[in-house]
Amino acid sequence: MRAIDIRLALHLTVSLLAAPCLAQPVGLPRAETATDLEPIVVSPQRRSGNRFDSGASVGRVTADKARTMGARTPPEALEETTAVAVQVTNRGAGAPILRGLIGPSNMMMLDGLRFHQATWRTGPNQYLAAIDMSSIDNIEVLHGSQSVAYGSSAMGGVIAVQPHALPVHAGVAAGAGVRYSTGDGGVEVWGQTSWRRGALSTLAAGGYRSFGALRLGGGDKAPISAYSQGGWLGRVGYDLGPKTEIRLSALGNRLMDAGRADSLHAGDLRWYDNADDMIWLDFGHGSGEGGGGGDTGLIEKVRASLAFHRSDEATRRVRCKISDVTADVPGCVAGAEALQANPDGAPAAVVTREQHTQDTVRSVGGLVRAALRPIGGAWRSRLRVDLGAELWRDGIAASTSAERRSDKGWTFADAARGNFSADSAFTEFGAFVLADAVALRTDTMRLVVDAGLRHAVFSAHAAAVPKLGDIEYDASGLVGSAGVRWLRADTMAYASWHQGLRAPNLQETTVLGDTGSTFEVPNSDLRAERSDAFELGARLRWAKVTLHAALWQIALQDVIDQREVLASEFAAFGIDAATVGTKPVRQRVNKARGTLQGGQLEVRGHLAHGLQPWLRLAATTGDIESDDGTSAPFRRIPPLGGAAGVEVGRGGWTAEVFARFAAAQDRLAAGDESDLRICEDPDNRGKTYKDGGKACPGTPGYFDVGLRGGVALGYDLRLDAIARNLLDARYRVHGSGLDAPGVGVSVALSGRL
């Protein structure tokens, strides 16, 4: 769809949506539903508000909702969120796709602070899944380019994890829960306790999860799919005054033995161990969004934060020679698992190589932000300005690689360099201003306009990058935003323009090695990519229906994509075909431009007897254009899909039938066609259709039905259960390397004191 077409479609859609409400009699505001009143923290203005008034597409999943969904990880909790597709390469991973973009193109935040790092893989990754659900109060998703408010990487959107908050009432509180799942024999336990007395408050939460092999649709077991995870959260706060507080928080997570087998039939297996620890100190002054700093003061609210984040990622990779899939694949799995149990043992005949890599990244940074209002006068209630600045630095503390080969004595030899140069660093600075004002207000409506501006500066350094030597690069630029919102009691419509700016990270510019579906070589000449995002949307509240619809378009320049590197080229990097294996060798490059566009719809009914039918739909398409004028689809674009259900709740119980579904996706990029996760030939396992000179049919559509519900048992106990994939269908989400779970039941018992 060209720009003129989508603008016309956006105009017509909003006009048609708004027309029925404009015809309704104007009256007093109706009581808002719980969904409308959900307090969101992630917003284009980078502050809290309610979903109904937000001038963007925003999704939210609470810890209670995640529990009823039986979600093991944050990505699983987002699976039914409107316009979020979750790519899963292995059970310990999960990468949300927002507006067709994935990985570091989506900003990830923890408690309003930058959580992502400059080493995160451009494609699918496990970093969001590394945060344990026991630490999380809710997860929010803001769609669209949002670099003005949130900085680099907010190209497709923002994923904001909100940890459990400190208690506000005096006394002691506690809660705990346990869950068992039949599909993998999974056992999960979690708990939380909090205490407050006077000005001092504390909170501690933690959980442990252990999962066995996953049963897939049809009854097969997913190989090397067992893993375990543990996480914890500790917080302490002290009130320095009636509107001033200081908080210290620490979050830790351990993801252990998460196996990946999407290239099993090509003789490639790997296991991941991830350790994440983040500690942050907050100073805050101000009481909520409406009155901090005094009723007449200029400064309404202030926040200053310092943070330290350390991550360790260890990967163990085993490769095998597969001559006969039927005979050699089971031997490869058994041989790899035997080495894991006894690292000093002799390798099985089919095992040819084992490699261990370790990357340790340390990030430090901080944020200062203030909310201002005019002193006195009519504009005090109509204008707000937010000023802020943040500085973050990621440094590679260690990056190592060691390999042993059966044809060279099966003894580990250290490589001269790991995935990264050990002293690599990436620095990001940004200063921003955001303002919104009520331009027009009557007894029945408001017209709100907003605008923002950020100056962003990035720099990177890496020493002794193969073939390239020492590299230095930097980028800077201004990005802006503007929007307008028209609000009535039961109707709102909005239009927005937001720019994005993303500098290439250390993984894209300096990594040399296997990053999943490809073997990557570095490129220090990458330029920053930019975007202009446009969105038109409307929210309606009728007597028995709430609705949100939006159409959007993102125009990108200097898109960071890939090109295939020939054997004659990658030899110059000191690697050979045996090291590469069967993976295609690629290098990140800038393409001239790209366009992504799509739409989304969310509808919920409020009928008699507590019935609430709901529907969520999303569609995305996009193309990248090269300098020579040729164009191709973006990689991993999700097909038309969504979720639907009917929920009923009376008293202390709820019940729901739900479905998740997607159309087929056969519009593929060149990178998709050489990706075993998407285009593995079932008649020639370990090879793609392209390897055999055949066209890849893409990913088939699917329809998955389930049941879930819960009941209050008294004494503050609650029982929740979910039955997934009742049809026991065998399918996978487009781009994933693991098929969806088959039929199974999860039961959770939780309680509070």
pLDDT, average across residues 291-301: 65
- Taking Cα atoms as reference points, which of 340, 678, 662 lies closest to residue 517? 678
What are the helix and strand counts (H, E) for the chain?
A: 11, 35
pLDDT in tens, 575-595: 777 677 777 888 889 999 999
- Taking Cα atoms as reference points, which of 632, 420, 529 lies closest to residue 153? 529
Q: What is the pLDDT of residue 36?
A: 53
pLDDT in tens, 406-441: 999 999 999 988 999 988 999 999 999 999 999 999
Tell whether the model's pLDDT for residue 711 goes beyond 50: yes
Q: How far apart are CA 8 and CA 123, in angstroms?
A: 33
Q: What is the pLDDT of residue 29?
A: 31
Q: What is the pLDDT of residue 21?
A: 34
pLDDT, average across residues 620-625: 96
Return the ∠ at Cα 431 (arms to 425 and 436), rounded to 5°.
145
pLDDT, average across residues 86-101: 92
How high is the mean pLDDT of the chain? 89
- In this structure, which long-range contacts are made by residues 330-336, counting pairs with CB atoms below 8 Å and at least 24 apart in sequence? 332/264, 332/267, 332/269, 333/223, 333/224, 333/261, 333/264, 333/269, 336/224, 336/269
pLDDT, average across residues 301-320: 96
- Fold classification of 3-399+425-664+699-752 (topology level): Maltoporin; Chain A (2.40.170)
In DSSP notation, 36-59 reads: HH-EE--STTSS-EEGGG-SS-EE
Tell whether the model's pLDDT for residue 122 goes beyond 50: yes
Distance between first and last Cα of the chain: 55
Residue 356 has phi, psi (to 5 degrees) of -120, 130
Q: How far apart are CA 698 and CA 665, in angstroms?
A: 6
Q: How many CA atoms lie within 13 A of 261 on its CB side?
A: 24
Tell whether the model's pLDDT for residue 334 goes beyond 60: yes
Tell whether the model's pLDDT for residue 294 goes beyond 60: no
Q: What is the pLDDT of residue 609?
A: 86
pLDDT, average across residues 393-404: 95
pLDDT in tens, 34-55: 445 567 888 888 888 888 899 9
Q: What is the pLDDT of residue 24?
A: 31
Tell whether the model's pLDDT for residue 243 goes beyond 80: yes
Q: What is the pLDDT of residue 34?
A: 47
